[in-house]
Structure 1
Amino acid sequence: MTRCALELHDTPALRHQPVVRVEDGHGTDLGAALGAHRGGHVHLHVTDKLLGRTAAQAADVLTALAAQVRLTVTLHDLPQPADGPGGFERRAAAYAQVVAAVHGVVVSSRHEAALLDDALAQAGAPALPDDRRAVVPLPVATHERPATPPEPIPPSDAAPGADQRDLVVLGYLYPGKGHEEALDAAATLPDDVGVLALGRPSDGHDDLAEELGARAARLGRRFAVTGYLPDDELVGRLRGAAVPVAPHRHLSASGSINSWLAAGRRPLVPRSRYVEELVARCPGAVLVYDDLAAAARAALADPASTWLGPDVRLTPTRDEAGRCYAAVLARWAS
């Protein structure tokens, strides 16, 4: 989220705007940090987890800030029933409090806009008027495609411990991300197919890697977690993945899918409302599945299908998204 915000700011339409960087949202007095902008327009990219130990604490921080500046926000990680019993209700109440305090709200997909409507209804809050909301999809970088599509890798050529034929999942490890589904799918495929997780466990979920490893052992499958990867190494791993998978079923807008696309890959993604929106905006960008095992088997047989075709147009670009933000923020500035 922070990277996306900074990359948007570096576009021609936005780079003239001042930026205030806050290293620790939990321990920083945002009002003091933004003292030079008191009374002015401030736009903040935010999730509840960045600004408080609870969603209610984060909402209180933003409500206090909204009393000092003309605050608009991009809300990420929208509340949804998948947050679990009590979690959805608490987060919905917090997001409704934030919406009531700010002058405008950006979300990153029409699916997220619908989630926000559901959260406001759950909290008993009024609907957000059209003039106080905007949808600006996450930008996608330019993709690359190999000059010659790769050939299938025969099982006999896959060295023990290699990830040549693995299902590869990108991003933080946390419950519901889809690593379990990837392991279960791999267990139905040839014996040399495992699962590779590119990333590290999300804060508070350090034990998940061990749990997934135990699950893989019970299934007789290889499972590995890379930990944090610097950008240059990450791009190489994305391009080298046999089967790129984004198996999270509760996506509302996906930076991990966009990272696959930026690397020129065409990831396998489960059918959902957000994915249908993405397919309509960027035809040919993803391989939509109802059965992950069947989709992975097809991808192993036809590796070229997991690379973007030369006619696929990914939108919006960073500059396009930057222009959209500039127009929206100008409308809300006064």
Structure 2
Amino acid sequence: MTATHLVVGPARHGVVSFALNLATSLRGVDGATNVVRLDHWRDLDDTVRLCHGVHLNFTDRLYGATPADAAHRVVALIRDVEATGSRVTVTLHDVPQPSDGGNYAQRVEAYRAVCAAVHGLVTNSDHERSLLEESRIADPADVVVIPLPLDVADAPPRPSVVGDRSVGVFGFVYPGKGHDEVLAAMAGMPSSVGFVAVGEPSAGHDDLVDSLAKTAERDGRRFSVTGYVADDALAGVLHEVTVPVAHHRHVSASGSINTWIAAGRRPLVSVNRYTVEHAERHPGTVTPYPDTASGLRGALDYAMAHPDSTWIAAGTVSGSPTHVTAQRYARALARWHD
């Protein structure tokens, strides 16, 4: 029995991109894969009457105005699907953790309600599964870990180091992503070294861009935000950055890190439970540094002086290429939806 992949949310959202890419990769393993695509959670109320099983990728912001609203809507969907004699399975994203701040307790309750209702759970890292256990959201024995797909291409030609140098952070601009810490850590670098945010501001966070611009201006440093970059142009933009950094300290599983790597770059990453797991699974794809201000400054200085260290070496391989991830999902979905 083939699960229908229900994909909800704006096309540029990372979880939506993941869900659509997953469905595409599963077609190469299982053949026909059904996809129902909705741009907004409001469309769920009148649209969803699905059979043959459903798999969805859940993060609360894609399914409701509040975590409680999202959980209520998804649990109602599960009950509707169950009424047809079918099942719902879920890949969880943005798993709650205490660094969420005031929203943490609400998000925990929402994820707990969804996990209690579904028939199969996936996380994309052991770290996320541990977060579920630590917040008493779900029993880790009920969770299947399927790492994010990562394809390491042949190393691209490396651009000349002559010319303007820059430090870059990739992904939506929002608090906690690390843009402000990285810019602050550049204070000791020559002002000729620019800072580039590759991506666009997350909704409601244009003020962070203004703050970053003022900080850069005080240092006499070039600052730019690229805005949304189309997939076919992204690798070229990431190649132009001298030093790639992923300083999202509270990440649970990172598509941003994988995007740098897929472009042939070896980003600097702060040491945390997820990046340690990533480095063990994909040796040679990231450069970890201690999660301190001095650790970040030292890593930036070294990478700027040794730009070759920011590129993936020839022969580096992935521990979870796309076809392997698809096979793992196919086995889990077949077991749950049979």
Common fold by TM > 0.5: yes
Contact 1:244/1:260 (<8 A) preserved = yes
Structure 1 position 326 matched with structure 2 position 330: yes
Alignment of 1:237-316 (within 5 A): 237-290=237-290, 291-316=295-320
Structure 1 position 144 matched with structure 2 position 148: no
Structure 1 position 133 matched with structure 2 position 143: yes
Structure 1 position 64 matched with structure 2 position 81: no
Q: Note the C-alpha offset of 1:219.
A: 3.3
Which SS does the other structure have where 1:73 is aligned? strand
> What is the distance in 1 between the residues matched to 2:216 and 2:189?
13
CA separation of 1:15 and 1:212: change in aligned 2, threshold 3 A: farther
Q: Note the C-alpha offset of 1:152.
A: 4.2
CA separation of 1:129 and 1:165: change in aligned 2, threshold 3 A: closer
The answer for the alignment partner of 1:213 in structure 2 is 213
> What is the distance in 1 between the residues matched to 2:133 and 2:223?
39
Contact 1:178/1:248 (<8 A) preserved = yes
Cα deviation per residue 1:14-68 (whole Å; 9 max; x = unaligned)? 442211111112x1125x433142xx31000120000111000000001101101
> What is the distance in 1 between the residues matched to 2:289 and 2:55?
37
The answer for the alignment partner of 1:161 in structure 2 is none
Which SS does the other structure have where 1:195 is aligned? strand
The answer for the alignment partner of 2:130 in structure 1 is 114
- What count of residue pairs does the alignment treat as equivalent? 313
Alignment of 1:71-220 (within 5 A): 71-84=88-101, 86-120=102-136, 127-128=138-139, 130=141, 132-147=142-157, 152-153=161-162, 158=163, 164-220=164-220
Contact 1:289/1:295 (<8 A) preserved = yes
Cα deviation per residue 1:183-223 (whole Å; 9 max; x = unaligned)? 11111112211210001110121221111111222333222
Which SS does the other structure have where 2:56 is aligned? strand
Q: Note the C-alpha offset of 1:135.
A: 0.6
Q: Note the C-alpha offset of 1:9.
A: 1.4
CA separation of 1:298 and 1:203: change in aligned 2, threshold 3 A: same
Residue identity matched to 1:94: A
The answer for the alignment partner of 1:6 in structure 2 is 20
Residue identity matched to 1:201: P
Runs of 4+ in 1 over 3 A off after TM superposition: 149-153
The answer for the alignment partner of 1:34 in structure 2 is 48
> What is the distance in 2 between the residues matched to 1:307 and 1:35?
48
Cα deviation per residue 1:221-254 (whole Å; 9 max; x = unaligned)? 2221111111122110111210011111111110
Contact 1:189/1:293 (<8 A) preserved = no
Structure 1 position 18 matched with structure 2 position 34: yes
> What is the distance in 1 between the residues matched to 2:165 and 2:297?
13
Residue identity matched to 2:111: Y
Identity level (%) = 45
Contact 1:171/1:199 (<8 A) preserved = yes
Cα deviation per residue 1:104-162 (whole Å; 9 max; x = unaligned)? 11111000111111222xxxx6x4262x3111111013323135x55644xxxx4xxxx
The answer for the alignment partner of 1:45 in structure 2 is 57
Residue identity matched to 1:293: R
> What is the distance in 2 between the residues matched to 1:134 and 1:36?
24
Contact 1:144/1:262 (<8 A) preserved = no
CA-atom RMSD, angstroms? 1.6
Q: Note the C-alpha offset of 1:333.
A: 1.1
CA separation of 1:152 and 1:17: change in aligned 2, threshold 3 A: closer
Give the structure-1-normalised TM-score.
0.89
> What is the distance in 1 between the residues matched to 2:74 and 2:219?
46
Which SS does the other structure have where 1:78 is aligned? coil
> What is the distance in 1 between the residues matched to 2:159 and 2:230?
25
Give the structure-2-normalised TM-score.
0.88
CA separation of 1:150 and 1:305: change in aligned 2, threshold 3 A: farther
